[in-house]
Amino acid sequence: MGHARLSGSTPALAGRGWGARVLLHPAAKPVLFVLCLLPLAWLVYGAAADRLGANPAEALIRSTGDWTLRMLCLTLAVTPLRLALAQPPLARFRRMLGLYTFAYAALHLLCYSWFDMGLDVPEIVRDVLKRPFILVGMGCFAVLLALAATSFNRAMRWMGGRRWQQLHRGVYLAAGLAILHFFWMRSGKNDFAEVAVYAAILAALLLARPWLRRRRRVV
């Protein structure tokens, strides 16, 4: 989830073609920042303009959860795309995407705590212990919190590279917990179509990593 340091110099990377030049452009990160912020801006506008349907609270809870999963997919797509396209500059966007994943997860938790539970902490604790899918969701949030808190260079230096990498492999655990949370949430309505799509995407992204690394070594 953290930011991997790029290998090689900027001129060498720029020599890889227009793709690297676009990825290394000073505006690339601000553009990605704004794009990741657009879903939240749309939800805020929808709430203010009363365009979230008959149950705005449920719409906000669901939408922030959906965008957490989408951001997680984008975060996990960085390494496979970097390897498949031979574009090391892609790594510079991973930390931002990871932090956005955590931000949408935090908003999802806030919406649930506020709109469903009225910010009643004892009631929230009882609800978490009573409903397994919420307990799993809390576990996923705890993992994402640990990854976000240690995603910065100072944390990497303090922990040491090896321990930092071991901790950040926890993104695989977060992905598994997120899918299980989504599955249990949809099991009440027996609606698993979206669950299957996200599970397939995350499985493909996770399995692509070792395969692409082995392929690069062979080549």
pLDDT tens for 81-128 read 998 888 999 999 999 999 999 999 999 999 999 999 999 999 999 999
- Could you give the count of Cα atoms lying within 13 Å of 205 in the half-sphere of its Cβ? 21
- 3-state SS of 66-100 is HHHHHHHHHHHHHHHHHHHHCCHHHHHHHHHHHHH
pLDDT of residue 12: 44
The helix/strand/coil state of 50 is coil
Q: Inform me whether the pLDDT recorded for 10 exceeds 70.
A: no
Cβ-Cβ contacts under 8 Å for 121 (sequence gap 6 or more): none
Cβ-Cβ contacts under 8 Å for 85 (sequence gap 6 or more): 19
Q: What value does the mean pLDDT take over residues 156-169?
A: 91
Distances (CA, A) of 185 to 95, 120, 195, 214: 28, 21, 10, 37
Q: What value does the mean pLDDT take over residues 134-140?
A: 96
The token pair at 187 is 């099991």
Burial class (CB in 10 A: 0-12, 13-18, 19+), 62: middle
pLDDT of residue 62: 95
pLDDT tens for 12-25 read 444 457 788 899 99
Higher pLDDT residue, 206 or 66? 66
Q: Inform me whether the pLDDT recorded for 8 exceeds 50.
A: no
Q: Provide φ and ψ at 17, rounded to 5°.
A: 120, -175
pLDDT of residue 4: 43
pLDDT of residue 219: 42
User: How would residue 176 be classed by pLDDT, with cut points 50, 70 and 90?
Assistant: very high
User: How would residue 216 be classed by pLDDT, with cut points 50, 70 and 90?
Assistant: low
